[in-house]
Chain A
Amino acid sequence: MEPHLPRLTDVDEKAANRATRQVATFFGLVPVLSIGFAVVYFAVPGDSYLDFGPLRANTRNLLLGLTFGLALLFLGVGAVHWARKLMDDEEMIDYRHGASSSDADKNYMLTELDKVVDESKLTRRKVIGRSLLGALATILLPMIVGLADLGPWPTKKKRAETIERTIWAPGVRVVNDITFEPIKPEDIEIGQLINAEPANLQDLEGAEFQIEKAKAAAIVVRMDPNTITIPPTRQGWNIGGVLCYSKICTHVGCPISLWEQQTHHLLCPCHQSTFDLGDAGKVVFGPAARPLPQLPIALDSEGYIVAQRDFLVPPGPSFFERDSRHDSPE
């Protein structure tokens, strides 16, 4: 250990007195600030605002914060200053013993353990131990049966009824999201995106409404037909430059809304999956594993946009049981 060096305040009485005065000053300011806090709390009106330069704050809140904050700060600073300058700072050595227990303790422990096993009579009457094991193993059965019945089992049939279908059907009108107004393609400008729903969503309520909306939500976009590529298998799914895609990202299921008009990219805010809607919804960036599903649309007799049928692939996040490698149109 290096030799102990006395501090200035240890030898110089004037320095020690000065340090004492400083500590007392810090501590002495605390009651001033605390009472100031109380005064500000009652005396300063709550709707006056300080407004100069970059500062634009409620006067009362600012003063309350300053008084209480500085009071706490000076309390701490005073204590630290006292410890650094005036409290005894002699170094001392504290010896530590080894980490493991003594041999006597270890032996005592082992003999006690042996005694415990003997006293429980498990070794002599083995049937107790065996029947106990059987009992403990089977007591879990009620819990397993109870938990297994909490919801539907994810069989292929269940999937086909739930996540692999939506309420879109032939002839269902594509309508605006909240207002349920039908859409005419002439009213859509190039570069516009409309949040859409199936018209038959209005017939549902409550939980069923939310569940079906979460799968069936779609968007209608209009692009310049000369700037997009429509694969041969999807000819006729569009009306000129007006296309309809699912709104639900194929990554984790966030509803996508960031539509980049010039690039025809649809950007999901959650994990930044980007789909090129001018190229069959292909994934051009991000963690999505399969393209955005496209809804085939047509015009009905009154000129409003309708769906030709349900989505050909399930919308929403990809899931293990379905091989989506062949989703892209070739």
Chain B
Amino acid sequence: DEVLRPEDKRAIIGYLQGLHERPTDGGFALGGLGPVSEGLWAWIIGLGSLIFFAMWIAAKGAKAK
């Protein structure tokens, strides 16, 4: 208690709780879990759609019969 006084601790807790309650402008936060979960979505959605577009562009398409 000598290092961080109780009122200091209360002030820090109050600030953090206020932070959590504020709405963020950052868009879809993906759960806010950090780089690992962001990587999961990047690989699944991001790379998945890139692969889809690549395959679509290069595909042979309907041929005349």
Hey, which bits of chain A sit against chain B, CB under 8 A?
A: 5-12, 15, 49, 51, 54-58, 61-62, 65, 80, 84-85, 176, 181, 183, 187, 194-195
In the complex formed, the residue of B with least CB distance to A51 is: B23
- Specify which of A8, A62, A176, A183 is in contact with B63 (CB 8 Å cutoff): A8
B16-40 interface code vs A (CB 8 A; 1 in, 0 out): 0000000111111101000000000
In the complex formed, the residue of B with least CB distance to A46 is: B25
Q: With A58-B23, A61-B25, A61-B27 in contact, do A84 and B57 touch (Cβ < 8 Å)?
A: yes
The answer to whether B61 and A84 have CB atoms under 8 Å apart is yes
For the complex of A and B, the 8 pairs showing the least CB-CB separation, nearest first, are A8-B62, A11-B64, A6-B64, A58-B25, A49-B23, A57-B27, A5-B63, A187-B2
Hey, which bits of chain B sit against chain A, CB under 8 A?
A: 1-3, 23-29, 31, 56-57, 59, 61-64
The answer to whether B2 and A183 have CB atoms under 8 Å apart is yes
For the residues of A in contact with B, the DSSP-based class is mixed
How close is A177's CB to chain B, nearest CB, in angstroms?
8
How close is A287's CB to chain B, nearest CB, in angstroms?
22
Complex contacts, B62 vs chain A, CB 8 Å: 7-9, 15
**Complex alpha-carbon distance, A218 and B39, angstroms:** 37
In the complex formed, the residue of B with least CB distance to A84 is: B61
The answer to whether A56 and B64 have CB atoms under 8 Å apart is no
Pull 5 A–B residue pairs with CB atoms less than 8 Å apart, ordered by A.
Answer: A8-B61, A11-B64, A54-B31, A58-B27, A80-B56
The answer to whether A57 and B28 have CB atoms under 8 Å apart is yes
- Specify which of A10, A49, A55, A183 is in contact with B64 (CB 8 Å cutoff): A10
Complex contacts, A57 vs chain B, CB 8 Å: 26-28
The answer to whether A62 and B27 have CB atoms under 8 Å apart is yes
Q: With A55-B28, A56-B23 in contact, do A12 and B64 touch (Cβ < 8 Å)?
A: yes
**Complex alpha-carbon distance, A10 and B59, angstroms:** 17
The answer to whether A65 and B27 have CB atoms under 8 Å apart is yes
Complex contacts, B27 vs chain A, CB 8 Å: 57-58, 61-62, 65
**Complex alpha-carbon distance, A194 and B56, angstroms:** 61
Complex contacts, B28 vs chain A, CB 8 Å: 54-55, 57
The answer to whether A7 and B61 have CB atoms under 8 Å apart is yes
**Complex alpha-carbon distance, A176 and B23, angstroms:** 37
Complex contacts, B25 vs chain A, CB 8 Å: 58, 61
In the complex formed, the residue of A with least CB distance to B56 is: A80
In the complex formed, the residue of B with least CB distance to A194 is: B3
Complex contacts, A8 vs chain B, CB 8 Å: 61-64
Known: A6-B64, A7-B62, A10-B64. 17 other contacts (CB 8 A): A6-B63, A7-B61, A7-B63, A7-B64, A9-B62, A12-B64, A51-B23, A54-B28, A54-B31, A56-B29, A57-B28, A80-B56, A80-B57, A84-B59, A85-B61, A181-B2, A183-B2
Output the residue of B2, B24, B25, B62 with the most chain A CB within 10 A.
Answer: B2
How close is B15's CB to chain A, nearest CB, in angstroms?
17
How close is B14's CB to chain A, nearest CB, in angstroms?
20
